[in-house]
Structure 1
Amino acid sequence: MKKYVAALAAVVAAPTITAGLVGGTTQPAVGAGGGNFGSIQVVCRSSHTNSDDPIVFPRQPGAAHQHDFFGNTSTNAFSTVASLTGKPTTCSRPGDTAAYWAPTLLNNGRRVVPDRVIAYYRTSRIRDIASIRPFPRGLKMIAGSSTATASNPQPTRITNWNCGDGVDGTAKIPSSCPNTPEDPLRLRIEFPNCWNGRTLDSPDHKSHMAYAGVGGASGCPKSHPVAVPALSLNFRYKISGPLSGVRLSSGGVYSGHADFFNSWNQRVLARLVHDCLNAGQVCVSKIGDAPKP
């Protein structure tokens, strides 16, 4: 833990990289209730699709249900943090070479090609935003559940559906979405933002992480004392009309989940956390900055 904090201090003390120059712009932000908060926005185009999962089924190509991948273009069953680092990305911030993936959306059995994913790194439920640290290199985590069902749904604060980019949504997919660019079908997944400070993964790929603010409290639990960015992924799909034939490759529409494998350029990530989250700034980005795969 001490070594991690010391290494982080060295990175943050490095020469300044203005957040707006790392892909996107910066503007001040004030949170609800007048408290400062910050966020980092990254927009990533869809990269590729396959049935690999380097977190759940490492070195077992084709063992998973079908996934759509975003960000790092090299992600496959054999991916490691070393193999991912420095590879091309479909994200709007060049330093974001992390791997993001989610189950493929199917409409009457046919794949719906995702439009993009909008990743938000926020200061959610952390009162002391200066305490938030970058994700450690190689961190793996999964949010949501592939086994959730209509009779046993997930909390909508973790995963929900909607038309458009709002935070709120429902466990059940909408019956239809308007045929407008502003209101695509959207699946939102919220990741935990407290780390145990010791392990980069766990047997269930979840227990090394925890959500801040559980039970109405602010901050991280003692078991997971290190505050990290609150990552939420908003997967957007260009599909309109009736959605009764839509499901996920992992099962029904209630089985929404997503995976994150941190292979960011750590110096860039640390600077963004420092300049945007710790400083209470909103650092935005746009799809035009994202390279095509």
Structure 2
Amino acid sequence: MALTITAAVVVGLAAVAHAGDLSTPTPTPTPSPEAPWPDFAMPPYNGTGPTLLRFGCHQVVVDRIDPLVNPGSIPSPHQHQIVGGDAFNASMPVSDISELSTCTTCSYSDDFSNYWTSNLYFRARNGSYKRVPQIPNRLFFDDEFTTKTNGGMVAYYVSPGKGEVKAFEPGFRMFFGDAALRSEPQGQWNLSTQTCFRCYSGPDFQGDDLAPCQDPAVDTQHLPNGPCHGIRTNVIFPTCWDGKNLDSADHTSHIAYPVEGPHVFDGIGTADTCPDSHPVKIPQVMFEIVWDTTAFNDPNEWPEDGSQPFVLSTGDRSGYSQHADYVFGWKGDALQRAMDAGCIAANCPGIATQAVEEAAKCRVPEVVDENYEGWLDTLPGNPPQPSATTST
């Protein structure tokens, strides 16, 4: 019998199982017209079903470099926050990154990949800026590591089951998004299920009831228009590969969405049918970052017109420019074994892990010497802040 569980159910059951871990328990999700529950059976995650990796990574550095989109540029146009292996630099060769790294900030100690996104800043009424701090994510599946990270993010990898996806090859990298975008993207697909901001409705992750980018009550493709008890960013990458190129000129042409369209995050699937041009099914990769915006909810500090005050480090006040970069760096066949293992979260049998304290020791020196903490007159690099640009 085919599994039909959605991630909403996975999240809901996990929330119930760990309600005591949060000072304010998350309620069990209820069906709605926007996100109905199907008939379901809980996936076994015991070697015979899908794999859902969910694991935390400390921040390895905050810097204004981008070895994927702006290789060798010191500085790059805008700032990023980066996690993963210590091979990260202004330039990174198309080779086995796991052989160039000596440590990683991630809980899976064989994952030397690098993951990075833009930062979030608050723009006060007087025009000054302050970086919004990142905080650890909530507890799921007894994963204490993820609740103790310093900055950083949570990485997800999904496989429908053994032999269903092909792990990335050494040298593989990919990009999602458009750093120049300032309005809702116009194209073949609706990407609102692939990138979003979740506005927590109360303290302790309240409102985090349904799968990422699938709850219209709290999820928007643009930055939230009102105060939040924290904002979460989710970015999901395409799940089909051409099977030949480790990269492409735009860092996206070698990957594609399934024929049926972008696969929502459901914790068990990646694609039904990949196009002939990109026939290889790859793991679904998702980044998740939590920003603590609670210190910036004073309406007297918001713009006088009441518009939302947050801006990405790209200079984007809309949020549509949120993007993500990925450079694969798992050691040997560790990721393939995990994708075939039918395991869950940060405790995949046979995949090496490390203590949160050991991961925190891994750091990369900053290349660009500039201040990015405290109150600033401009964003790092002072990127332009156009009101609107469009893209496909």
Both proteins in one fold, TM over 0.5: yes
Q: Secondary structure at the match of 2:335?
A: helix
- Equivalent residues of 2:97, 2:171 under 8 A apart: no
Report % sequence identity.
Answer: 27
Match of 1:100 in 2: 115
- Give 1:247's match in structure 2, choosing from 303, 306, 311: 311
- Give 1:114's match in structure 2, choosing from 111, 134, 138: 134
Q: Secondary structure at the match of 2:74?
A: coil
Q: What code does the residue aligned with 1:225 have?
A: P
Match of 2:280 in 1: 226
The 2-side partners of 1:88 and 1:100 are apart by 14
The 2-side partners of 1:129 and 1:220 are apart by 18
Q: How many residues align?
A: 251
Alignment RMSD: 2.8
The 1-side partners of 2:174 and 2:328 are apart by 9
- Equivalent residues of 1:93, 1:289 under 8 A apart: no
The 2-side partners of 1:247 and 1:87 are apart by 34
- Equivalent residues of 1:98, 1:262 under 8 A apart: yes
Q: Which has the higher contact order (CA 8 A, sep 6+)?
A: 1
Matched, 1:136 2:169: yes
Task: Give the superposition deviation at 1:255.
Answer: 0.7
Matched, 1:53 2:53: no
Match of 1:270 in 2: 336
Greater helix fraction, Structure 1 or Structure 2: 1
The 1-side partners of 2:132 and 2:355 are apart by 22
The 2-side partners of 1:212 and 1:287 are apart by 35
- Equivalent residues of 2:97, 2:113 under 8 A apart: no
Larger Rg over CA atoms: 2
The 2-side partners of 1:82 and 1:137 are apart by 5
Cα distance change on mapping 1:29 and 1:90 into 2, 3 Å:
farther
Task: Give the superposition deviation at 1:45.
Answer: 1.4
Task: Give the superposition deviation at 1:98.
Answer: 0.3
Q: Secondary structure at the match of 2:340?
A: helix
Task: Structure 2: state its 5+ residue gaps.
Answer: 1-40, 124-128, 136-151, 214-218, 263-270, 303-307, 348-352, 363-392
Q: What code does the residue aligned with 2:284 have?
A: A
Cα distance change on mapping 1:269 and 1:151 into 2, 3 Å:
closer
Q: What code does the residue aligned with 1:189 have?
A: V
Matched, 1:260 2:326: yes
- Equivalent residues of 2:234, 2:286 under 8 A apart: yes
Q: What code does the residue aligned with 2:222 have?
A: K
- Equivalent residues of 1:75, 1:99 under 8 A apart: yes
Task: Structure 1: state its 5+ residue gaps.
Answer: 1-27, 179-183
Match of 1:190 in 2: 236
Match of 1:177 in 2: 228
- Equivalent residues of 1:72, 1:89 under 8 A apart: yes
- Equivalent residues of 2:57, 2:153 under 8 A apart: yes
Cα distance change on mapping 1:83 and 1:225 into 2, 3 Å:
closer
Q: Deviations over 1:93-142 (max 9, x none)?
A: 1011100111121112222233331111013xx6x763211111111100
TM-score, normalised with respect to structure 1: 0.76
Q: What code does the residue aligned with 2:228 have?
A: C
- Equivalent residues of 1:48, 1:73 under 8 A apart: no
Q: What code does the residue aligned with 1:283 have?
A: A
The 2-side partners of 1:29 and 1:229 are apart by 20
Task: Give the superposition deviation at 1:267.
Answer: 2.3
Cα distance change on mapping 1:227 and 1:65 into 2, 3 Å:
same
TM-score, normalised with respect to structure 2: 0.58
Q: What code does the residue aligned with 1:273 have?
A: M
The 1-side partners of 2:98 and 2:166 are apart by 21
Task: Give the superposition deviation at 1:210.
Answer: 0.8
- Equivalent residues of 1:60, 1:77 under 8 A apart: yes
Match of 1:6 in 2: none
The 1-side partners of 2:341 and 2:50 are apart by 12
